[in-house]
Structure 1
């Protein structure tokens, strides 16, 4: 992946496909390469995906990785690449970054998809503390033992009945993780501190561009009520709940979910 100076940080990024620009923002602790399995479903776009600070081949500075700072990273990346305006698709923490990008730099965002995410602040419906503990523990282990890491993370990402019916999923995810640059364990702590401070709830009505909220109705990591909270703050937003899907909603029905997202992005 090429490296480019984006503001005061070096970010690793990649592009895929042809068409209008679509900026893809990955979630907690994962390299932007986590988008690779989704790329064939996003035809008609020039997809730009990148490693958030602290992940992949991007710089890993000291201190808290605030959502606002990572949104500015994304904005600076677009500027460095000469992209004046793009459609944006963020998942999980990437959806929080997408909210901040749209709020802080509205001129750069044509449309935004907010996947399996939350608005932050006191109204957020948080997962149980043991779920969040498993997220941090599993994320830290991924760097040295993806097999064990996914044993912890898989129940947070997908419903048990889905993984039981598709035992091949874990092997595919482990193989994918082994091809990505490992994320250092301290990134999990730095990013979680940033997520804990994030609060866009009061500002969400300022978003004027079209918004699509996508969420699995069996998400145990970012509870589905959060999608409805975001919708309540952005009246023009469209809400797409995926029945039977967990946090990794795109895994449950990749063809159907991406068809809906792509159709919405194109029209």
Structure 2
């Protein structure tokens, strides 16, 4: 079990964070989850990376405070810095997936000295220049029946064959403890993300991962980000959907581990 504690953001909001694993030769690895999810997003693969890992519950989720006020991906990045300060960590490697990848972009843009290596998974630069999911998917995910929404989302995350062999529960379908207003705040924060103009300022070596069959965040975003961020390269994982990091962990986790291990200390 990870050790949990509370960091205090600049506005006084308490941000729950979790630290797991022993100190090693590599910097700790910060793991950033997707929209409306808490740190349990990473439970299935947290032990894959062979190093100390840090997670957090975004404001509005988990054991963090849930203020009913506007959220943003730059604001989430500021909360991350509060966590790093709380833990006494000057620099970390960062792996963000889905909305976590959007937060990670801002972390690398606004607080570049805190990021040694960057991995962006199944994410995009924002709606203006990025490739967005279809209106049909958006309509279906707005269905009034939670069970229907969960089924659609699970299908976007995993292949049918994998779901037959792994019937769940799945830790990527959202934090069920979130109040409705917080879910709405997260949705607006993720949909409002716009980092395109600032991406060329990222200094950290960057690996971009994406499943070829991801239609929740279309795979074309991977090469778009790789072309926009200096010192970046993209790796597409054949046949994977949005939660490639779970279903295809035997491919994805070594890609992350090897990339970060190859960076100069």
TM-score past 0.5 threshold: yes
Q: Sort the Cα spacing of 1:106 and 1:136 in 2 relative to 1 into closer, same or farther, 3 A.
A: farther
Number of the residue aligned with 2:110: 104
Bigger fraction of residues in helix: 1
What is the CA deviation profile of residues 167-202 of structure 1, one whole-angstrom value per residue up to 9, with x for unaligned ones? 14232427x979x76222222211121122211111
Indicate if the aligned counterparts of 1:23 and 1:49 stay in contact, CA closer than 8 A.
yes
Indicate if the aligned counterparts of 2:101 and 2:122 stay in contact, CA closer than 8 A.
yes
Indicate if the aligned counterparts of 1:33 and 1:50 stay in contact, CA closer than 8 A.
no
2:9 aligned with 1:6: yes
Runs of 4+ aligned residues of structure 1 deviating over 3 Å after TM superposition are: 133-138
Question: What is the distance in 1 between the residues matched to 2:85 and 2:162?
Answer: 44
Indicate if the aligned counterparts of 1:41 and 1:255 stay in contact, CA closer than 8 A.
no
**Per-residue deviation, 1:248:** 0.4
2:36 aligned to which of 12, 29, 34: 29
Indicate if the aligned counterparts of 1:57 and 1:181 stay in contact, CA closer than 8 A.
no
1:61 aligned to which of 67, 70, 80: 67
Secondary structure at the aligned position of 1:88 is classed as: strand
2:132 aligned with 1:129: no
Q: Sort the Cα spacing of 1:13 and 1:92 in 2 relative to 1 into closer, same or farther, 3 A.
A: same
Number of the residue aligned with 2:157: 157
**Per-residue deviation, 1:121:** 4.2
Secondary structure at the aligned position of 1:170 is classed as: coil
Question: What is the distance in 2 between the residues matched to 1:262 and 1:165?
Answer: 24
Q: Give the root-mean-square deviation of aligned CA atoms.
A: 2.1
Number of the residue aligned with 2:241: 246
Number of residue pairs aligned between Structure 1 and Structure 2: 255
Q: Which runs of 5+ in 2 are unaligned?
A: none
Number of the residue aligned with 1:219: 214
Please identify, of 185-194 and 254-263, the stretch whose mean Cα deviation from structure 2 is larger. Answer: 185-194
